[in-house]
Amino acid sequence: MAFKSKIKWVALFVLTLSLGSLTVHLSLTKFSSMNLVQYSAKEALSHDFPYIGSPVGRNKRLWGAVRSLESLQPYANPRNGYPVPGKTSNGFIYAKIFGGFEKIRSSICDLVTISRLLNATLVIPEIQESTRSKGISYKFKSFSYLYDEEQFIASLKNDVNIIKSLPEYFKSARRRSEFPTFKPKSSASPNYYVKEILPSLKKAKVVGLIIMDGGCLQPILPPILSEFQRLRCRVAFHALQFRPEIQILGLRMVERLRAWGQPFLAYHPGLVRDTLAYHGCAELFQDVHTELIQYRREQMIKQGIVNDELSVESHIRRENGSCPLMPEEVGLLLRAMGYPSNTIIYVAGSQTFGGQRLLIPLRAMFANVVDRTSLCSKTELSDLVGPETPPSPDVFKMPNPKSEEQLKEEWNRAGPRPRPLPPPPDRPVYQHEKEGWYAWITENDKEPNPSPMDLRMQAHRLLWDALDYIVSVEADAFFPCFHSDGSRWPDFSGLVIGQRLYERASSRTYRPDRKKIAELFNVIRDDMYHPKRNWILSAREHLNRSLSEEGLIRQSLLSKPTSFLSHPIPECSCRISSVEITKPIKGKDGRILFGGEPECPKWMQSARAEKARTNETEPAEDENDVPEQLEPDVISSLTSLIDHDEEWDPND
């Protein structure tokens, strides 16, 4: 009995000790959870740059202007005989524009040019991505959802007559579809409009255009129409201003990035599903993303957009430069250039196909990777959208259970006996198991039409792209992952490169040759995080060349035939007179690629001289921000990314 009583006391003591230990652990957990703070990009920046607002000298090799391009200045004013449009016109042109941000911007520039060519009055075009039928805020009309109507009309009053809507006596006829409608291609020539559309315009007085390919006029016009090219520049870079709310928030984001006293780099991944499907880059991804790209490519083949096989070797396409650079490769290139790990990188683009998972390697190499959600509060973004009607609730409902009578009836209709046992019922796909917009792929083989919420999100992406566009143009450096891709559509990075070239040609805008980059990475593909010194020097040399004339000439050959706005020189630029005179460089077709800019007016040269004197009084740039003997540090930093965590997988 004594032995049993001792066991009871020991058991009671152990139980009491366990309860006490559990209580202590629970209290510690509760206490520690109260001190947990959600990660914030702003707090991470304050940790790396504690002295807010203090100016820091910039390293010229990483952030300095490209001296060979400093003489180029923006000059899109008319230069020859260019009369103001008269009060009488040949009629009215209204248009519907389909597509995303970059297609809308290019199409509007072409529309204004066509209206000038045909001496027509342009009705403010309708942006189909932002209509009231999709639940967009009632505060904004179609065009004013993105751009400032008053600014657009006032800036072009000396070029084209623009009105907000058709006269009342034409509206009813338009509803009855009594006016001729055309669907011009992006490669349509001026002769097409003069011979095909102008007679209909004079006869019916109203003509409608439906634009779906990101433009309605060929990018490269004959030299005799150089004034129309300059008109495109005035539209894109002066008249097309975002509405005030977008402009204010975009500039506020730039101020927040500069508040840390450090330069920042804007980076656009360019990973868009349509572009990836067009070039056959499905195998760069995994699992469901590859299937989604192949599905879209199949649809493009059926529509005649792609004239190629469905299954292609994506790795060969990447070696040809047709596929985008992956974020992991961009991070390695930036480290090879010498950018430190605390460099502020702004990720532009309203959507990245593949999700945030693809950005993990870049975030591992650079701690201060931010985007619009890091710099703006939810209230600021919701105020930009405006008041919207609440979407219909998408509540998942289980199918109604079958009654006993229904089960008996199905059993009686099942056929003669004996028969095998029925297969087990399929496990239903519950709502929490659906992942994002591609949930349809778990249930059927056909992509459904966009839901009302999907259409609303497409309209919201116009606003997010506008914010990213402002930040990218104002960035100290810009690195595109996918530009001049060879397709017939304009791309976001190309428009940013074009505006940066127009406003500040000497700004650091990288124009990497993806084919050359693929060759460089093939050398170290098996050991990417341990590059040799020679590889780092080769990558740095290529990127430095892409900043200067060599990159501009290549940009003119590849991008300009697709989108004039991606390379608006020499038509929309002039050159400050200097000792070095750049000889014009012509292509095989006789077109001037670089160096054919006229001399700037005297008032521009005097303003340039005044600015140069002001810059002389500013503090000198810090040459020692990044040491000259950087290569060993770069190699060790790249190596440490793997050495610190051997289980880290970039594809995880």
Please report the pLDDT score of residue 627 as a whole number.
37
Residue 576 identity: I
353 Cβ contact partners less than 8 Å away, ≥ 6 residues apart: 271, 272, 273, 276, 285, 289, 293
Is the torsion defined by CA of 237, 239, 243, 247 positive or negative? positive
Please report the pLDDT score of residue 438 as a whole number.
72
Asked if 284 and 314 count as a contact pair (C-beta separation under 8 A), the reply is yes
* Residue 130 pLDDT > 50: yes
Please report the pLDDT score of residue 468 as a whole number.
96
Mean pLDDT across the chain? 82
Work out the average pLDDT over 625-652.
40
* Residue 105 pLDDT > 60: yes
Please report the pLDDT score of residue 140 as a whole number.
85
Phi/psi at 599 (nearest 5 deg)? -75, 140
Helix (H, G, I), strand (E, B) or coil at 318: helix
Work out the average pLDDT over 332-354.
92
C-beta contacts of 581-590 below 8 A and 24+ residues apart: 582/71, 585/549, 585/553, 587/556, 587/557
Please report the pLDDT score of residue 592 as a whole number.
81
- Give pLDDT tens digits for 200-212: 999 999 999 999 9
pTM, to two decimals: 0.84
Asked if 542 and 520 count as a contact pair (C-beta separation under 8 A), the reply is yes
Report the distance separating Cα 254 and Cα 472, nearest Å.
Answer: 9
Measure Cα distances from 47 to 52, 182, 368, 442 in Å: 10, 57, 10, 43
pLDDT band, residue 590 (cuts 50/70/90):
confident
Helix (H, G, I), strand (E, B) or coil at 451: coil
Lowest average pLDDT, out of 104-118, 452-466, 613-627, goes to 613-627
- Look up residue 390 and give its two tokens: 């609440």
Work out the average pLDDT over 428-432.
59
DSSP codes joined into one string, 193-227: IIIIIHHHHHHHSEEEEEE-SS-SS-SS--GGGHH
- Look up residue 221 and give its two tokens: 């016009």
Please report the pLDDT score of residue 14 as a whole number.
77
* Residue 413 pLDDT > 90: no
Please report the pLDDT score of residue 22 as a whole number.
76
Please report the pLDDT score of residue 593 as a whole number.
80
Asked if 136 and 128 count as a contact pair (C-beta separation under 8 A), the reply is no
- Give pLDDT tens digits for 275-289: 899 999 988 887 788
Buried residues in 259-280 as b, exposed as e (16+ CB within 10 A)? ebebbbbbbbbbbbbbbbbbbb
* Residue 641 pLDDT > 70: no
Q: How many residues does the chain have?
A: 652
Work out the average pLDDT over 512-532.
89
Report the distance separating Cα 498 and Cα 95, nearest Å.
Answer: 25
Q: Which stretches does DSSP call E strand in 35-101?
A: 72-74, 92-97
- Look up residue 102 and give its two tokens: 């970059």
- Give pLDDT tens digits for 523-533: 988 888 888 89
Please report the pLDDT score of residue 614 as a whole number.
53
Work out the average pLDDT over 498-510.
94
Asked if 52 and 261 count as a contact pair (C-beta separation under 8 A), the reply is yes
* Residue 414 pLDDT > 90: no
Asked if 650 and 361 count as a contact pair (C-beta separation under 8 A), the reply is yes
> Which residue do the tokens 């000439």 mark?
553
Phi/psi at 227 (nearest 5 deg)? -65, -30
Please report the pLDDT score of residue 424 as a whole number.
66
> In Å, how far from its chain's centre is CA 588?
32
Pairing between β-strand 162-163 and β-strand 121-123 as defined by DSSP bridges: parallel
Please report the pLDDT score of residue 431 as a whole number.
59
Query: Which residue would you say has higher pLDDT here, 638 or 606?
Result: 606
Please report the pLDDT score of residue 631 as a whole number.
42
* Residue 604 pLDDT > 60: yes
C-alpha Rg value of the chain to the nearest Å? 30
C-beta contacts of 525-532 below 8 A and 24+ residues apart: 528/328, 528/332, 529/332, 529/638, 529/639, 529/641, 529/642, 530/635, 530/638, 530/639, 531/332, 531/336, 531/635, 531/638
Lowest average pLDDT, out of 71-75, 112-116, 149-153, goes to 71-75
* Residue 112 pLDDT > 80: yes
